[in-house]
Amino acid sequence: MRATFMYGAGDVRIEETPDPAIRQPTDAVVRVLRACICGSDLHPYHSLPSAPEGRPMGHEFIGVVEEVGSDVATLRRGDFVIAPFAWSDGTCEFCREGLQTSCLHGGFWGGNGIGGGQAEAVRVPLADGTLVKVPEPVDEALYPALLTLSDVYGTGHHAAIRAGVTSGDTVAVIGDGAVGLMAVLSAKQLGAERIILMGRHTVRTDLGVEFGATDVVAERGEEGIAKVRELTGGRGAAKVLEAVGHMPAYEQAVGIVRPGGVISRVGVPQYDDAAVGFASLFGPNVTLTGGPAPVRAYIEELLPAVLDGTVQPGKVFDRTVGLDEVPEGYKAMDAREALKVLVRP
């Protein structure tokens, strides 16, 4: 089959690779119907050191079960499934608490002999725990929306849940990428009254307004901070959802958060150390939370509104490519010509 590999920064290739097959009795093999390119894929696209062996890419996919191992109890050939961006056993203490990204036996796609989602098929470990079956029939028009449950929708939701967004809240969202826009949608669903979206790409922030943003701040840095403070009577936003992961976004979050408020990060941090001392977090009793979203915990909850069209998270996809065009998809997202690229293998 064909699959996507990254050999270094900017070096994405589609290559022939052996078809995935059951190795463990708890495995399933899933034929990929749709996959996509993630904003977080751009981090290695910028910085991955060149290597002779490629890294399998892609951690978001929906598909059809092609084969199951002998211990798989809840799935069978032909089932339509959503794969979260982390695989997990569904039974360990962390999974039972809804923190599947810390599963004691789980892991992430594209490593340790597990392929990536930007491929024709994937071997799914711990299939009973990992995959969520969608009741058939599934309208193809819903594929993009269902695919967002693999990562970006659940990740935006996680940002809002961890921040404790509730009815009447003032929320600021940093970043107008797909996760930022899903954070807007999630904050709206959780009852936020005011949602300030910080982003400077009009096409994206327009979609953010459609998802529920009440204000858009295009300014960045000190100017952006001043603008959010002005919009919030000088106080700042009680809940700040940080969906970027770069240091300037962290600094912006610290600058706009209200005393006693929460900064909830879901953008994968591209830094190790940051300001957490008296002047930044401690003095104003600001809470810093977030992390990789246990999207597996949210899929069942978010699924009904996706299936009945109440929410339309699939709108974050603004380009569709075949598998062979995936390298161009990376380029387009990196150049910000595309918000999020759907892959139809």
Positions in the binding site for a second copy (CB under 8 A): 93-94, 97, 99, 101-102, 162, 235, 259-260, 265, 268-269, 271-292, 294
Q: How far is the CB of 9 from a second copy (least distance, A)?
A: 19
Query: What's the closest the beta carbon of residue 267 comes to a second copy, in angstroms?
Result: 9
Residue 315, token pair as written in the block: 């709108």
Q: Which of 206, 277, 280, 297 is nearest to 240 (CA)?
A: 280
Q: How far is the CB of 6 from a second copy (least distance, A)?
A: 19
Instruction: For CA atoms 248, 216, 163, 295, give the dihedral sign.
Output: negative
The residue (of 260 and 309) whose beta carbon lies closer to a second copy is 260
H or E stretch covering 303 = helix 299-307
Taking the complex as a whole, how short is the minimal distance between the CB of residue 94 and a second copy, in angstroms? 6
- Whole-number minimum distance, CB 342 to a second copy, in Å? 27
Is 155 strand, coil or helix?
helix
Tokens of 261: 């408020």
Which is closer to a second copy, CB of 167 or CB of 310? 167
DSSP letters for 226-272: HHHHHHTTTS-EEEEEE-S-SHHHHHHHHHHEEEEEEEEE-SPPS-S
Choose between 166 and 289: whose C-beta lies nearer to a second copy: 289
Cα–Cα distance measured from residue 318 to residue 301, given in angstroms and rounded to the nearest whole number: 25
How far is C-alpha 228 from the geometric centre of its chain's CA atoms?
25
Q: How far is the CB of 291 from a second copy (least distance, A)?
A: 3
Of 33, 155, 138, the residue nearest 86 (C-alpha): 155
Q: Which is nearer to a second copy, 65 or 288 (CB)?
A: 288
Residue with smaller CB distance to a second copy, 203 or 275: 275
Compare residues 145 and 159 and give the one whose CB is closer to a second copy. Answer: 159
Q: Give the C-alpha separation, 126 to 121, whole Å.
A: 16
Residue 292 beta carbon to a second copy: minimum distance, rounded to whole angstroms = 7
Query: Which residues fall within 8 angstroms of residue 215, CB to CB, at 6 or more apart?
Result: 194, 195, 196, 197, 231
Which residue's CB is nearer to a second copy, number 51 or number 279?
Answer: 279
